[in-house]
Amino acid sequence: MQQQGVSRRRFLMGAGGLGVAAMLPLSAQASLSAPVRKLSLHNLHTGEQVTANFWEEGRYLKEGLNTFNHVMRDFRQNEEHDIDPKLFDQLFLLQHRLGKAGEIQIISGYRSPTTNAMLRRKSSGVAKKSYHMKGQAIDLRLPNVPLSQLRKAALDLKVGGVGYYPSSNFVHLDTGPVRSWV
């Protein structure tokens, strides 16, 4: 009986992945078919750098996801949260779209409600119900990629939210509805 549950779960994960892939542009679909998905993340606030596989053989890898959850934690509160694996898929697709492998610089990953409230008091650009608090957003930049090019590539993917913050030198990505703002 246990074996059937695992097979059904894998089947449903695969079917869900196909559904998502069907909505993506062809170039994005090609990169999602890669047998291994790997990212290198650098948290600019903590100095931590990690490289890990997060997807292999049709499934997410718990060890890789946990590594990313840690480096994307709320460093102010030292609080970890599960990050939506679809966000890592978006980052993987973004790098593929740009033809750039290598480091993704994290400005902000998960934010606790306490940190989000503190940042809201300092800036009008912080949403009260931020996707950061759900583990569904990242503020980032890529070394040697102009911010405007990063934004355009993210918009071209047509997945999730894309915010452009040139005066703060980052692009926001999230796994919410497709939308954009400046």
Q: Could you tell me the mean pLDDT of each successive run of 10 residues in the chain, 182 residues long?
A: 45 46 46 86 98 96 98 98 98 95 96 96 90 98 97 97 97 98 94
- Cβ proximity of 76 and 47 under 8 Å: no
Q: What is the pLDDT of residue 33?
A: 77
Structure tokens at 105: 């610089």
Structure tokens at 48: 């931590």
Domain chopping of the chain, boundaries: 2-181
Q: What is the pLDDT of residue 31?
A: 60
Q: What is the pLDDT of residue 113?
A: 97
- Cβ proximity of 138 and 173 under 8 Å: yes
Helices and strands (H, E) in the chain, number of each type: 6, 8
CA trace torsion 112, 74, 45, 172 (10° rounding): -60
Q: What is the pLDDT of residue 63?
A: 98
122 burial level (CB within 10 Å; 0-12, 13-18, 19+): exposed
Rg (the chain; Cα; Å): 16
Write the CB contacts of 18 (distance below 8 Å, at least 6 apart in sequence): none
Q: What is the pLDDT of residue 101?
A: 87
